[in-house]
Amino acid sequence: HLRTDELETVDEETAMFHTIEKPVLAKLEGLVAEEEEEESKTNMKSKTRLRVLVVEDEDEIKAYLKSELSDEYKVETCSNGKEAYDLILRDTPDLAISDVMMPEMDGFTLGKKIREIDGNVPFVYITAKSMKEDMKQGYEIGADDYIVKPFEMLELLVRIEKVLERTGRARKVLTIRNI
């Protein structure tokens, strides 16, 4: 510890540590607490408000997507395009994520039907179909994005957020986290 006369000789510009007065410190702590509280409220609203429909016939992938997306969105799942179509007719989601190759109704057919029901519902394909012709077909149907399996979850989350922002369905929903 230094004596008072030693402290006065410290060059303030080069000093690594500065003393913060208690009233200033309390004000800073209050501002940080208010900011954290507001951020917490915002995240809670956005995590429960937007509905995402995941259409995937592989149970493991469907469960993984639901688990990962549930932190940010209210997630509903279907195992094929027909189930998804029936659900969409009853209650349109904010975003649909669909595989392409599925039994009963494939993702391309589902995409066409989504566009017929509501041309504004954003949808994203996540599929193993990586040929340029398949991607072209997906985009021609009206997909907002086309992601080839295997995919990185962080990439999917960012793409979902950007699709929702572009379509005016969300404002800054995603909380970036370690994945």
* pLDDT tens track for 52-95: 999 999 999 999 999 999 988 999 999 999 999 999 999 999 99
Could you report the per-residue pLDDT of 27-48, keeping only the tens digit for each?
656 655 665 555 444 344 345 4
Q: How confident is the model at residue 49 (pLDDT cuts 50, 70, 90)?
A: confident
Q: How far is CA 107 from the centre of its chain?
A: 21
Number of neighbouring beta carbons within 10 Å of residue 168: 9
d(CA 73, CA 47): 5
The pLDDT value given to residue 22: 56
The pLDDT value given to residue 21: 53
Residue 172: pLDDT above 60?
Answer: no
Span 111-140, mean pLDDT?
A: 93
